[in-house]
């Protein structure tokens, strides 16, 4: 089968197309013929060696998959022929390839109204947003600020927070402020121009950016508020007393993806795909992702 892998750490030039054996699903797994795989920042961070891994080279990449079940070692899993989408467990990616073995519990039916390329854009971003909002205990009436509201996780987090009845603020570049309004954001904020320190304190910050944004977010919270950070660990040097803070690292969850799919089918959750590229242009997709200006998601088509 065709696959894109890397055999050493480095920039996108280390990605290479190879032929690999079709994997054999272990107990509890199904074999999926991959039709599309999303590109997430964790992909190029793994390729660059940001995250230690204990698996020998060459290594696969990619965690979001959408495709068709073609084999199964999971009696209670989706049947052969079913169109499914899901997330592979971190940190060992295996989505940039024609076939992959996925735990049946990580999969859900492709949402009505989505093609497979759109479906591949959903799992990691939607689960990260959902689990972040759960960790913060977001409920109706709360003021929730999403830092990076136009990105893959951010554009779903703002919609899911609105679905919970929150008053949502979100940051983005000036060119994406109208996009935030389309998603239902109550207060779109230009991260390059608006002084967030003038805002009334918020109950929750979902930080999908990290770095200085995470450090600045502490002071935006009310006493007793909650900071959830996603791309990197908490910078404890900037912790403020009285603020509850956690890092959320996403885990696969098929049942939650089923609920996400229902929201999509009902028209209550919009999926934004900036660009679809063929698998052999994975390096280009990594360059685009690393530049940090993606609206929604990037997808590789197989």
- Chain segment 121-172, per-residue pLDDT in tens: 999 999 999 999 999 999 999 999 999 999 999 999 999 999 999 999 999 9
Angle at 38 between CA 263 and CA 264, to 5 degrees: 10
Task: Quote the pLDDT of residue 124.
Answer: 98
Longest Cα–Cα distance of the chain, Å, equals 57
CA atoms of 255 and 257, how far apart (whole Å): 5
Contact 247, 230 (CB under 8 A): yes
Which residue reads 């013929």 in tokens?
A: 33
What gap in Å lies between CA 86 and CA 65, rounded to an integer? 6
> What six digits make up the tokens of 221?
């919270």
Multiple choice CATH, 2-122+271-301, 3.90.180.10, 3.30.70.141, 3.40.50.300, 3.40.50.970: 3.90.180.10
- pLDDT for the residue numbered 108: 98
Q: Which pLDDT value is given to residue 54?
A: 82
Q: Cβ neighbours of residue 11 under 8 Å, at least 6 residues apart?
A: 48
Pick the closest to residue 276 from 149, 50, 118, 68 (CA basis): 118
> Could you read off the pLDDT of 69-107 as tens digits, one per residue?
999 999 999 999 999 999 999 999 999 999 999 999 999
Mean pLDDT of the chain: 96
Helix (H) or strand (E) holding 119: helix 116-120
CATH topology of 2-122+271-301 equal to that of 125-247? no
Q: How far is CA 169 from CA 142, 185, 204, 229, 300, in A?
A: 11, 6, 10, 16, 31
Q: Return the number of other C-beta atoms located less than 10 Å from residue 256's C-beta.
A: 17
Residue whose pair of structure tokens reads 């079940």 in the numeric block: 69
Question: Is the whole model's pTM more than 0.85, yes or no?
Answer: yes
Across-strand partners of 2?
19
The ranges assigned to domains in the chain are 2-122+271-301, 125-247
**Dihedrals φ, ψ of 104, to 5°?**
-60, -35
User: Which CATH number is associated with domain 125-247?
Assistant: 3.40.50.720
């Amino acid at each position: 089968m065709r696959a894109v892998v890397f055999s050493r750490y480095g920039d996108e030039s280390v990605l290479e197309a190879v032929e690999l054996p079709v994997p054999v699903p272990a107990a509890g797994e199904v074999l999926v013929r991959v039709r599309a795989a999303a590109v997430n920042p964790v992909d190029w961070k793994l390729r660059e060696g940001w995250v230690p891994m204990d698996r020998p080279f060459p290594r696969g990449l990619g965690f979001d998959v959408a495709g068709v079940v073609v084999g199964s070692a999971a009696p209670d899993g989706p049947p052969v022929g079913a169109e499914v989408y899901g997330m592979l467990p971190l940190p060992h990616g295996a989505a940039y390839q024609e076939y992959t073995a996925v735990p049946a519990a990580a999969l859900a039916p492709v949402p009505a109204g989505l093609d497979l390329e759109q479906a591949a854009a959903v799992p990691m971003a939607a689960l990260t947003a959902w689990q972040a909002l759960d960790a913060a205990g977001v409920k109706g009436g709360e003021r929730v600020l999403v830092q990076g509201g136009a990105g893959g996780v951010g554009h779903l987090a703002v919609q899911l927070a609105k679905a919970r009845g929150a008053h949502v603020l979100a940051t983005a570049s000036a060119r994406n402020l109208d996009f935030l309004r389309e998603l239902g954001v109550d207060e779109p904020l230009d991260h390059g121009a608006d002084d967030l320190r003038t805002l009334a304190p918020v109950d929750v910050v979902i930080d999908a950016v990290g770095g200085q944004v995470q450090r600045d977010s502490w002071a935006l919270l009310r006493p007793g508020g909650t900071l959830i950070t996603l791309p990197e660990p908490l910078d404890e040097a900037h912790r403020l007393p009285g603020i509850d803070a956690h890092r959320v690292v996403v885990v696969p969850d098929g049942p939650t993806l089923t609920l996400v799919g229902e929201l999509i089918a009902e028209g209550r959750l919009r999926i934004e795909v900036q660009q679809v590229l063929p698998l052999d242009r994975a390096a280009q997709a990594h360059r685009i992702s690393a530049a940090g200006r993606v609206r929604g998601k990037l997808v590789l088509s197989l």
